[in-house]
Structure 1
């Protein structure tokens, strides 16, 4: 059995993700909140633009948490929890802060899950695009 070590997501990584997300959001003219969680679901970085709607802080964190727990972009999960979807009861069956709206993405390093990034404040498509653009910095 191989025990390959993977460098965890660092505070420096988290700050780079926040900066990249904020730059992408500014270029798109969208005030956002950005959340970065480590592999354990603990907050590494958070930033809410002054003009971002207040709830975007909560949505960015829940999107990051959902992407982390399911190791998938939240954009890929939306149809699964619709009333006719195979996991339609998931959002209400667990006592967890899950949110199935595009804007959360898992963060991988060397093929291993090391954290997640969540965006809130724009449309779901804008949040997803900003999050995926920010991932390119790592």
Structure 2
């Protein structure tokens, strides 16, 4: 039996997830953009989701896939998009896995005390807009 003590990190709460959704949506609304926002816990399970009724339907799927990708890679999707382009070192990654990965800006991992506790994904605007809305939400809460 190990004598090392594990550091417990509080999980992402539903209240925090809902606050992230509200903050991202407020940023998008201020910019005049209709979006979908997804927040996942550390296990990739849905904690909060909201699609603006004016947002394109696919934005719900893209926001969820962006969050999942950011969670699995522990990296903003904006930072890995170039890696999967045809000339990139990981160009086969999107098709190598049977997982809902999406390498478009708008997904961010969420950290507490240096550990990943979940992820947020925003879809519906341009990739730069989605990244900005997600970043604004994270900066307001973490």
What band does the TM-score fall into relative to the shorter chain?
over 0.9
How far apart, in 1, do the equivalents of 2:139 and 2:105 lie? 18
Task: Say whether residues 1:18 and 2:21 are aligned partners.
Answer: yes
- Whether the 8 Å CA contact 1:16–1:137 is kept in 2: the answer is no
Q: Structure 1 unaligned runs (5+)?
A: none
How far apart, in 2, do the equivalents of 1:65 and 1:84 lie? 24
The answer for the alignment partner of 2:67 in structure 1 is: 64
How far does the alpha carbon of each residue in 1:19-48 deviate from its partner, in whole angstroms, 9 at most, with x for none? 101110011110000000000000000000
The answer for the alignment partner of 2:103 in structure 1 is: 100
Give 2:90's match in structure 1, choosing from 87, 97, 106. Answer: 87
How far apart, in 1, do the equivalents of 2:36 and 2:80 lie? 21
After TM superposition, the runs of 4+ consecutive aligned structure 1 residues lying more than 6 A away are: none
How far apart, in 1, do the equivalents of 2:53 and 2:23 lie? 17
1:136 to partner: Cα distance:
1.4
TM-score of the aligned structures, taking structure 1 as reference length: 0.98
How far apart, in 1, do the equivalents of 2:49 and 2:67 lie? 11
TM-score of the aligned structures, taking structure 2 as reference length: 0.96
- Report 1:1-138 matches (<5 A): 1-138=4-141
1:111 to partner: Cα distance:
1.0
